[in-house]
Structure 1
């Protein structure tokens, strides 16, 4: 069988840039080279695209605190309008070669929020993961919570403010409604970037200022006391749910450092210690969330499970971490799908959706 050429787009102009580098390292190592050729497209923190060599695309690759994209002189650009896009080296104006499918591994802003997906749709390229709309609404915690609430699903109580409403945010008013401690989050971020757990008025206003550094919309949420349960979803029109896992934070909460820097910052219990009935309920609600938010391909749905068994949806990640301590690949592994098999399945799903979309008419008059 002829090999497929997979373009991996990673890095990004995102606060989760370093997480993406760690994820990409693991994806590259897991890909079956009898099936795939790989083209590495590294996006630096300024948003410039680089054609990278697999042998040295990362600096300090084994140190999550120091990992860096090794930027090259081989800058690239994309040219839409053909049957499939051409990717051109800017220096010599030569095509890089035909890419069969893109595997986006950019977490967060401009990678997980629909921006990259919209570009890839315009370029007429198959790509792994959730499409434009599902990416955008899942990334925006405000919009996602509204849709989930409307579908009768439970989310944490909270308030959303935009940056121009900064003067309206009053600690005493929020505490009266939600009590303490509180969580303050940028709406459009992941990996706990800019998230703070606050117990006092001084901490509250510091957290507000920090959150507005990452987004012009923030979410202030109540603390939900419960177990942190996660479930991985895989599929398009007939998605499947993995066995659930549980995060056991060893710090005050599951912070960025706990997720990606400090390997002892949290323990991952996979599978989670749940009854058969609880497991099925987590899986069904996760599938409901996936469908409500118009997701396809993959996502990880994160819950709080309260002592009485109620499930509160925390958030949905449409490009979940693929690092060596990430839950998404671990959950599929315990469910019976190895890391290389997971990658194969994600690529198959990308082509399935692309071929389905190609059957749609794009004009009334041809």
Structure 2
């Protein structure tokens, strides 16, 4: 069976062409693609590196790909994560991970909050700033606040300075984001003093929580510590990852409940990482649903969590793959050619 890998590489973007140095934060290193291919090849699959450009349709036909393992982030716009899955669905090619609707919906933090509200999942109070004229409405929120681009991932646009404690700092932060990300609004949330916990969820009709992990300041307890871009870039020096997190059983159970509820409500498939903020009095707030979590064997949160709960990298990748196979009715790799795949004569 031939499995294609769709992805975006940091190395494919020339530094001279990058107007915004954060542009490639979501993209993968070659080592991640190597690691995924190694796991698949070790387990008897042939692999084809497809990338994520418009040429993937021709590559799929030429290489006779039967299935796609998708980790492509896409280029530009709030629907960028949906581009590759949309092409795969047009070609009727089975693939891993969530569908275009889920990927587009969850990348947009504003739309995510709306769906979460209707699902009964708490999120921090917020306002949307589309221009500096919208700032007066933010006065209804309680400081400290935090500013974020509306549809970026990997902490892009979220800096140590994004946590603001007064109107002047808010105006400076909002203006900077509107200038740096001119085609999207700024999300302004009430900052939740407390702890940050992420949940890994895997499966489909009956998903299960892979594990919970707390992200903490290596220097010690700090309720004002959050996962900014600067922190993520210097994670080895600044961050400790604790799994299972140091929380009571009731709080653990409630986080798991919200994680599974979010996974189902947003239509996630196969794998997702869901991030929460826990207030000092134990209230749980959803921050983000990520149905396209990083899979770097070195620094991805989901991979670090998996190792801490006893699931090695190979088992994690195969669990994602087998979960996807189950959606298409593939029992094992020998059946995909009979039950699925592509009629190459009609493309």
The TM tier, using the shorter chain, reads: 0.7 to 0.9
Which string of whole-angstrom CA distances, capped at 9 and with x for unpartnered residues, describes residues 186-245 of structure 1? 111111101222234443233223333334222111111121011100011111102210
Look up the match of 2:333.
none
1:87 aligns with 2:84: no
Which string of whole-angstrom CA distances, capped at 9 and with x for unpartnered residues, describes residues 35-84 of structure 1? 222222335xxxxx3xxxxxxxxxxxxxxxxxxxxxxxxxx7244xxxxx
Look up the match of 2:153.
190
Which of 253, 271, 280 is the aligned partner of 1:280? 253
Look up the match of 1:169.
134
Look up the match of 1:41.
50
Which string of whole-angstrom CA distances, capped at 9 and with x for unpartnered residues, describes residues 69-125 of structure 1? xxxxxxx7244xxxxxx427xxxxxx6411122222234756863222212211211
Look up the match of 2:336.
none
Look up the match of 1:27.
36
Look up the match of 1:139.
107
TM-score by length of 1: 0.75
Distance across 1 between alignment mates of 2:28 and 2:81: 18
Post-superposition offset of 1:33: 2.5
TM-score by length of 2: 0.79
Unmatched 5+ residue regions in structure 2?
Answer: 14-19, 219-223, 331-338, 341-347
Post-superposition offset of 1:29: 5.0
Task: Map 1:60-209 to 2 at 5 A.
Answer: 77-79=55-57, 86-87=58-59, 96-107=62-73, 113-162=81-130, 166-170=131-135, 173-174=137-138, 176-195=139-158, 196-209=162-175
Post-superposition offset of 1:307: 2.4
8 Å CA contact 2:41, 2:47 repeated in 1:
no
> Relative contact order (alpha carbons < 8 A, sep ≥ 6): 1 or 2 greater?
2
More displaced, 228-237 or 105-114? 105-114
Q: Considering fraction of residues, name the structure with more helix.
A: 2
Unmatched 5+ residue regions in structure 1?
Answer: 44-48, 50-75, 80-85, 89-94, 360-366
Q: Give the number of aligned pairs.
A: 308
8 Å CA contact 1:231, 1:242 repeated in 2:
yes
More displaced, 196-205 or 123-132? 196-205
Look up the match of 1:332.
306
CA RMSD after TM alignment: 2.8
Residues 152 and 311 (structure 1), Cα distance of their counterparts in 2 relative to 1, 3 Å cut: same
